[in-house]
Amino acid sequence: MEQASGAGRFAGRTVIVTGAGSGIGRSTALRLIAEGAGVVAADVIPDRLDELADQAAHELGDSALRTVAGDIAQRETVGRIVDAAEGRIDGLANVAGVMDGFLPPAEVDDGTWDRVMGINLTGPMRLTRAVLPAMLEAGGGAIVNVASEASLRASASGAAYTTSKHAIVGYTKSVAFYYGPQGVRANAVAPGPVATNIEGAMRSEFAAQRAGAVMQATMPPPAPPERLAAAVLWLLSDDSLNVNGVVLPSDGGWSAV
């Protein structure tokens, strides 16, 4: 019989979480630990990883958390994350991501474009590529990419972020298609607004008028990050064994507007 949900859903499993120092990634890492996983937590800000380790030790009694500080857009960081998992990798949550200042197509600069693509798309691609051999050899694994409402529409961000978050959905489906028959599932969660530390300021007056008006009229209030972690964990767990290649909006109904 397949395992039922509840405490211990991830007992004995190793899961990598990027962006684990804050917001959705942090909630995901803590809940995974609470449900029995061994977590490899990665983030570009080392102090945030130290805080996470303290929280895991004091609130959950977990002293086995492995942390990796580094920029996910750099190849060498990907190698260090995989090494920290020490062979066994049951799950990967690609959560780290950055916004783009809402710069519309005529205003986006090369630096913003490259940074957003590197962190939101190329980093997750390289890390996925790096964990796939271990998952395929073990006969299965679950990958969850944190997409966005900006994977579904153009009015939730600028050009670079919207493009990166649409692209990660295509990449998610590609992994699902090619490796589903071998037991590896890949799915995406598309959050609406979430109360985190993400830098969401608009750097374009035009975007503030054009996108600002649409968002003001339709956007639900921000959700606590724990609600997003719940969706990520469901897709990482055996509770979703029959689900592969989907984009799950967790957005208070925004995508239905």
Task: List active site positions.
Answer: 161
Residue 112 to residue 177: CA distance in whole angstroms: 31
Residue 84 to residue 210: CA distance in whole angstroms: 45
Total Cβ atoms within 10 A of residue 64 = 10
Interacting residue with ligand NAD among 25, 101, 104, 158 (CB under 6 A): 25
Task: Select from 18-26, 56-64, 79-87, 239-247 the region that touches ligand NAD (CB under 6 A).
Answer: 18-26
Q: In whole angstroms, how large is the CA radius of gyration of the chain?
A: 17
CB 18 within 8 A of CB 257: no
Residue 104 to residue 74: CA distance in whole angstroms: 26
Of 37 and 146, nearer to ligand NAD (C-beta) is 146
Residue 127 to residue 34: CA distance in whole angstroms: 24
Residue 234 to residue 46: CA distance in whole angstroms: 28
Of 38 and 225, nearer to ligand NAD (C-beta) is 225
- Name, in order, each residue with C-beta under 8 angstroms of 178's C-beta and a sequence gap of 6 or more: none
Interacting residue with ligand NAD among 38, 91, 97, 158 (CB under 6 A): 97
Interacting residue with ligand NAD among 15, 16, 17, 24 (CB under 6 A): 24
Task: Select from 50-58, 70-78, 79-87, 202-210 the region that touches ligand NAD (CB under 6 A).
Answer: 70-78
Q: Read off the amino acid at residue 24.
A: I
Interacting residue with ligand NAD among 51, 71, 238, 239 (CB under 6 A): 71
CB 106 within 8 A of CB 203: no
Of 19 and 104, nearer to ligand NAD (C-beta) is 19
Region 34-53 residues binding ligand NAD, contact defined as CB under 6 A: 43-45, 48
Question: Judged by CB under 6 A, does residue 249 bind ligand NAD?
Answer: no
The residue ranges that bind ligand NAD (CB under 6 A) are 18-19, 21-25, 43-45, 48, 71-73, 95-98, 119, 146, 148-149, 191, 193-194, 196-198, 225
